[in-house]
């Protein structure tokens, strides 16, 4: 399907699920930077294609098929963001800009290669969940505060749930970064301290930090 169609269903999906606005043509139009007339036009065409249900003056509702297409594009977008962030150390703003273009020209084959390379991450660097190849969102990462490993166990950093500058500086200094591997071990049972190892560098963190560092199991 075309770039215009993919972006259209993606915009509806995001409005339906995350963003504030409803999914009437006007909101989709302003999100995509096109005229209201163009959005109504497209809505009729996609209704005919079975991707959404269009009824005059009503909000647009994606069909199962339309939602599947949206999730497929979102999966590609978020995997590109993850890859570009990890490999090239690009900023959150930069990876978004590039992923917005690449997402439409990426085969399912290449998408799986990227996912595999990254260890099938469940979240992108923004902390948004990455749908799996079947378009399901299975959010199962945990904060390392909740990990009870007696021995060192390896995980992949999935998100850093903070807006605190000092926390991010600390993370940068210690290699705690989206996609990186860290070994986690509860320092003492009953303790609130957790020991983590990154690149053979071991540090001990207290709850303030362990509660906001999220990881995925390595599968």
Partner DNA sequence: ATTAATTTTTAAGTATGCTTAAAAATTTTT
Partner DNA sequence: AAAAATTTTTAAGCATACTTAAAAATTAAT
Footprint of DNA (CB under 7 A): 2-5, 8, 24-27, 29, 32-38, 40-45, 54, 56-58
Distance CA 124, CA 150 (A): 28
Judged by CB under 8 A, the number of residues near a copy of itself is 18
Binding mask 58-97 for a copy of itself (x = CB under 8 A): --------------------------x--xx-x---x--x
* Binding-site partner at residue 195 among DNA, a copy of itself, none, CB < 5 to 8 Å by type: none
Q: Is 101 in the site for a copy of itself (CB under 8 A)?
A: yes
Q: How many residues appear in the chain?
A: 219
Q: Is 23 in the site for a copy of itself (CB under 8 A)?
A: no
* Binding-site partner at residue 87 among a copy of itself, DNA, none, CB < 5 to 8 Å by type: a copy of itself
Q: Which is it for strands 61-62 and 142-143: parallel, antiparallel or unpaired?
A: unpaired
* Binding-site partner at residue 94 among DNA, a copy of itself, none, CB < 5 to 8 Å by type: a copy of itself
Q: Is 34 in the site for a copy of itself (CB under 8 A)?
A: no
Q: Is 4 in the site for a copy of itself (CB under 8 A)?
A: no
Single residue of 32, 110, 137, 203 touching a copy of itself by CB under 8 A: 110
Contact segment (CB under 8 A) with a copy of itself among 63-71, 105-113, 134-142, 170-178 equals: 105-113
Distance CA 193, CA 213 (A): 13
- Nearer residue to DNA within complex by CB, 101 or 218: 101
Q: Which two tokens stand for residue 136?
A: 């399901």
Q: Is 115 in the site for a copy of itself (CB under 8 A)?
A: no
- Nearer residue to a copy of itself within complex by CB, 117 or 167: 117
User: What HEC string does the chain produce?
Assistant: CCHHHHHHHHHHHHHHHCCCCCCCHHHHHHHHCCCHHHHHHHHHHHHHCCCEECCCCCCCEECHHHHHHHHHHHHHHHHHHHHHHHHHCCCHHHHHHHHHHHHHHCCHHHHHHHHHHCCCCCECCCCCECCCCCCCCCCCCEEHHHCCCCCCEEEEEEEECCCCHHHHHHHHHHCCCCCCEEEEEECCCCCCCEEEEECCEEEEECHHHHCCEEEEECC
Least separation in angstroms between residue 40's CB and DNA is: 4
Question: Under the rule (CB under 8 A), what is the footprint of a copy of itself?
Answer: 84, 87-88, 90, 94, 97-98, 101-102, 104-107, 109-110, 113-114, 117
């Amino acid at each position: 399907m075309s770039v215009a169609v993919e972006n259209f269903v993606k915009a509806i999906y995001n409005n339906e699920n995350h963003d504030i606005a409803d999914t009437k043509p006007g909101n989709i139009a302003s999100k995509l930077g096109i005229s209201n007339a163009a959005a109504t036009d497209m809505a009729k065409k996609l209704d005919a294609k079975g991707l959404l249900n269009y009824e005059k003056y009503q909000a647009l509702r994606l069909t199962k098929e339309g939602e599947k297409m949206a999730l497929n594009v979102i999966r590609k977008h978020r995997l590109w963001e993850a890859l570009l962030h990890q490999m090239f150390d690009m900023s959150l703003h930069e990876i978004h800009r590039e992923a917005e273009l690449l997402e439409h020209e990426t085969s399912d084959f290449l998408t799986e290669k990227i996912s595999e390379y990254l260890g099938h991450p469940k979240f992108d660097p923004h902390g948004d969940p990455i749908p799996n190849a079947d378009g399901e969102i299975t959010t199962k990462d945990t904060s390392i505060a909740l990990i009870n490993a007696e021995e060192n166990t390896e995980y992949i950093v999935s998100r850093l749930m903070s807006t605190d500058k000092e926390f991010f500086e600390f993370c940068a200094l210690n290699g705690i970064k989206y996609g990186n591997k860290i070994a986690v071990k509860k320092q003492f049972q009953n303790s609130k301290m957790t020991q983590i190892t990154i690149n053979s560098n071991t540090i001990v963190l207290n709850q303030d930090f362990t509660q906001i560092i999220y990881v995925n199991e390595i599968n």
